[in-house]
Structure 1
Amino acid sequence: MARLDVTETFCQIAFPGHLHTQDSLRYASDFQFQDTDTLIVTYPKSGTTWMQEVLTLLFSRGDPTLSQTVPNWARAPWLEQYYCPEVLKASQGPRIITTHLPYHMLAPALQGSKVKVIYVARNPKDVAVSFYHFHKLAKFLPQPGSFGEFLDNFLDGTLYYGSWFDHVRGWTNQTRDNLNFFYITYEEMWQDLSGSLEKISAFLQCPLVAEKLNSIQKHCSFSNMKENAMVNYTQIPDEIMDHSKGCFMRKGIIGDWKTIFTEEQNLRFDQVFESEMGSSQLRFVWEHPEDCDPAESLARGTVMEKSILGAA
C-alpha cells in the first residue's frame, strides 16, 4: 500500500495515507485493550523507537534475539496503522502496542482498562528538528520546505499528527487519575538510562537483576540501535524512504536544535511555548549539560531536573 501522496483526516487531525486509512483510524479509536497490554505513547520523534527497544528487551529478560530478528513495527505495532490487526492476531503473550494518537482519540477505549500506558516526551525544539529531517527522507510525508517554514507549521500544529502542545497536554492532564500511567522524558533516559530502566521495569512489575539490566542498557544504546537493521529502518525500500537524504537514526542527542535555530526562531518558539505550556508543571531539558549555562538555565526555568510526574 503506497498512497504516498494521500492524506487521511480523522478527528480534524491529518495522517499520512501511506500507513493510515479511515478504517485503521476507526479501528484504533474503538480498540479493545487487554489488561496485559502495554501502550507506548509519543508524539513523533520523541523516543518511540527507543522505548520499543527497551520494552522488547525488558519483556525478553535482556535476551536480544527478538530485537535483532524481528522489525520493531512487527513486535510493537502502531495501533492506528493499517497492518496492526494482522500483527496482533499473530502475537502471543503480553502485547506491546505503539501509538502517536492524541489522548482524546483513545480516551473512550482506555476507560476502565488496566493497560499500562508509558508516555515518552521530548523537548519540542529537538522534536521539531528531528521531525524536519525525517520529512526529508520519508516520501510519505510532505516536503518540509525551509526549516523556518517547517517550524511555523510545527508551532501552528498543522503538521501530520497535529499539535505537539495538544498532544503532550492531552496525555498528561489528569490522566494519572484514571490510567495506569507512567511518564518519562527522552532527556531523562539519555542522562540516566540505567535509572530509567529500573523505573520502567518497576512500573511494569518486571523486576530484573543487575546483570539483565546491564544487558538491556547495552543493546538499547543509540550506537547499537543505529546498527540494528530491525530498528534503523534501512529495510524500508528507497521508494518509501530516500536513504540518500539521511539516516533514520540520526544523532539522538540533547540540544541539536541549537545547530539550526536562528535567534529569531528561538525567541518565537519560547514565546509560543510559554503561551501554550506556561501553566504546565512539566519541565524539559533543552541543552546538553556541557553546553548549558547554569545561571541562564535557572533564569529560564530550564534547569536539568527529573520529571515531576514519574510513575503513577
Structure 2
Amino acid sequence: MTDQPKTDQQTNPKQTNRPTQNRPTDQPKTFLGVNVINGFPWSPQVHDDTPKRLQSFEIRKDDVFVVAYPKSGTNWARELVRNIVCQGNKENVKEDYGSNPHGQLEFGDNFKKYDSLSTEKPRVMMTHAPVDALPKQAFEGKGKIVFVMRNPKDIAVSFWNFVKEKRVIEEYEEWDAFFETFLRSDMMYGNWFDFNLPYYENHRDKKNFLFLTYEEMKLDHKGCVIRISDFLSRPLLSEEQVDKVVENTTFSNMKAKNPISFQRKEEIGKRMRKGVVGDWKTSFTVAQNERFDAIYNQRMEGSALAKQIIFGI
C-alpha cells in the first residue's frame, strides 16, 4: 500500500475523533437481504440456479463483459464500452440501450434476454460475478473482459449511500453499522479483497482482460477511452469520435443532461451520486481509517494490486 492514505488522514480536516456509535461490539451482522447460494452472498435479484447457469453461459467472440465489485464504476465503464462500439453516435447508443436487458447479467432472467439478442452487434454485459462464477469460456480467451477496480474506502461510502437511499434497511441508516458489515466476508458479493485479488493476481496478464481503475478513468478519461477502444480492437476513426465518446460519458452529462444510461431519470441519482475520488473522508472517522488501513496492509501485502489503488487525487 502506498503512503497516500496515511497522508490523507494527516491532512484531512473533515476527519474527527468522534466515537463510533451504534457499532456492534462483538459480531457485526451479515449484510441484510443477500441471497446466499453455495455459501456466496449474491444480490437478492439473483436466482438460486444462476451461478451454475452463469458459469456455462455461451460467450460469442465479440462479447464484452464489464466486471466489477459493486459501486466501482460499473455503469460508467459499460457506457464507455457502449459508446465506443457505437462510435459516439448518441442515437445508436440510445437504441442499443433500449434493446438490451437492464441491470447485471446475473439479475432475474437476463440470461434468456441476452441469448435472444441479434448476433449482428456485440453484446455489452455487466456483472458483479466473483471469479469462480464468471463464464468459464472467458478464461479460455473467448470474449473481452473490462475489469474495473476502485479504492475500497470510496466504495464503502458509495455503497452505504446507495443502501441508505433505498430506505428499506433501517440498520444501515447509520454509517458506523454499515462500516462494520462492509468489512465482513459475507457482505453482498463478498468483501472487496476476496473479490478483486483473485481476478487481478491470476488474470491480469491474460490477453482478453483489461484492468482499469476508477481513479485513472477520472484522471485520464480520454486516455482510457482510447485504451478501451484499442483493447476491443474497435479503434475510433477520428479525434472527433474520441471527443464525442468522452463528452457522452462525462459524469455530469450522464447524470443530468443525457439519461442515455437509464430508463427512468429518477433512478439516475441513486446510481450516480458524486463521482469523486476521496469522498471516504466525509464519513470515515480517524479510528475507522486506521483500522481499515491495518486490514488493507495485511490483505494486500505482496500483491501487485496494491500499486494500482489510490485513495485520493
TM-score band by shorter chain is 0.7 to 0.9
Is 2:128 the partner of 1:100? yes
Q: Which residue in 2 is equivalent to 1:26?
A: 52
Q: Distance in 2 between matches of 1:58 and 1:35?
A: 17
State the AA in 1 paired with 2:199. W
Q: 1:130-279 to 2 correspondence within 5 Å?
A: 130-138=158-166, 143-178=171-206, 180-208=208-236, 209-227=238-256, 228-232=258-262, 234=264, 247-279=270-302
| Contact 1:76-1:95 at 8 Å conserved across structures | no
| Cα distance change on mapping 1:50 and 1:260 into 2, 3 Å | same
Cα deviation digits, residues 108-156 of structure 1 (max 9, x gap): 3433242111100001100000000000123677852421221111112
Q: RMSD of the TM alignment (CA)? A: 2.4
Identity of aligned residues (%): 32
- In structure 2, distance between residues paired with 1:87 and 1:62: 25
Provide the rounded CA distance (Å) in 1 between the counterparts of 2:33 and 2:69: 21
Displacement of 1:273 after TM fit?
0.4
Specify whether residues 270 and 73 from structure 1 end up closer, same or farther in structure 2 by C-alpha distance, changes over 3 A only. farther
What does the per-residue CA deviation read over 1:42-78, in whole Å, with 9 as the maximum and x for residues that have no partner? 0000010101110110000110124445658936752
Q: Give me the TM-score of the superposition, normalised by structure 2.
A: 0.80
1:63 to 72, 89, 111: 89
Contact 1:32 1:109 (C-alpha < 8 Å) held by counterparts: yes
With normalisation by structure 1, the TM-score equals: 0.81
Judged with a 3 Å threshold, the aligned counterparts in structure 2 of structure 1 residues 116 and 32 are, in CA distance, closer, same or farther, namely: same
Gaps of 5+ in 1: 289-312
**Which of 38, 41, 46 does residue 11 from structure 1 map onto?**
38
Q: For the residues of structure 1 that align with 2:177 and 2:229, how far apart are their CA atoms? A: 41
AA paired with 2:208?
N
Q: Which amino acid aligns with 1:224?
A: N
Q: CA deviation at 1:177?
A: 4.5
C-alpha change, 1:138 and 1:277, in structure 2 (3 Å) is same
AA in 1 matched with 2:312: E
Q: Displacement of 1:163 after TM fit?
A: 1.3
Larger RCO, structures 1/2 (Cα 8 Å, 6+ apart): 2
- Which moves more between the two structures, 85-94 or 181-190? 85-94
Question: What's the counterpart of residue 140 of structure 2?
Answer: 112
Output the amino acid matched with 2:275.
Answer: G
Shift of 1:85: 2.2
Number of aligned residue pairs: 276
